[in-house]
Amino acid sequence: MQIPHFPEANHPLVKSLFHHSDRELLTLLQQHSDSGKYFTALFCRYSPIVYTLIRHSARSPVQAEYLFALTWRHIHQELTGLDFSQTAGENLTLQNWLINMTAYCINDIELPPTEAIHYSLKATSPPLWCYVEQALEQLTPVLRLMVLMAQTFHWSETRIAAYLQAEGEAITSNDVANFLQEGYRMLEDKLPTDIRTIYFGEQTISNMAT
């Protein structure tokens, strides 16, 4: 089994945090909710363990990658409120907690068939996926739907317009093109600055999406 390599582990913003302990990274993550580098550093530290556990339990590599991403999304949601002082077990470490969370996700998440999964680990690393989903939730429902149709299902602007017209929206393919550019710009604005730096560098989401 080959464990995926994540290029963000070599980014200076992430490498600069490697000397911190797990508890220190957790504290920094909770104190700086507008930053994504602390979660990314924890992801880089523990992704091999989490992926190994998941790969042994999934039926296919595609399902393994999707469950891996879903597990890290669940971990991301739980970390913000994690308090070891209120957690049962005096010797519980973050590593043990992550293993427990992974086991929970393996047992409780019902995966769709392989052909219904549109997630690609090579295209979107789990930390980026978490923060993009967080940003997507702040868009209007119609704008979010258009972005998802374009990026997840690779629908053309004409097809998106036709679908929305069938749903009662008075919209043209040119309107969709303009809305998509606005959606990408808003997504970029709502992503943490350090996440944009780590994953996009000087590129913008709209440039990467074209």
Tell me, what CATH number does 113's domain have? 1.10.1740
* Nearest residue to 184 via CA among 153, 156, 143, 152: 143
Angle between helices 141-151 and 157-166 (to 10 degrees): 140
For 92, which DSSP code? Answer: -
- Please report, for residues 47, 53, 144, 191, the alpha-carbon distance to residue 118 in angstroms, rounded to integers and kept in the order given: 21, 22, 17, 22
Q: 84 and 54 in one domain?
A: yes
- pLDDT score of 21: 96
- pLDDT score of 210: 39
Q: 143 and 104 in one domain?
A: no
Q: Structural domain tally of the chain?
A: 2
Condensed to tens digits (0 to 9), the pLDDT of residues 114-134 reads: 999 988 899 899 999 999 999
Q: Which domain holds residue 107?
A: 8-118
User: How many whole angstroms separate alpha carbon 102 and alpha carbon 82?
Assistant: 15
- pLDDT score of 152: 82
- pLDDT score of 84: 75
Q: 113 and 19 in one domain?
A: yes
Last residue of a domain, one of 71, 88, 118: 118
Condensed to tens digits (0 to 9), the pLDDT of residues 15-63 reads: 999 999 999 999 999 999 999 999 999 999 999 999 999 998 888 899 9
Residue at 3 is within a domain: no
Q: What is the pTM of this model?
A: 0.88
Condensed to tens digits (0 to 9), the pLDDT of residues 176-210 reads: 999 999 999 999 999 999 999 999 985 655 554 43
Condensed to tens digits (0 to 9), the pLDDT of residues 53-94 reads: 999 888 889 999 999 999 999 999 999 999 876 655 557 899
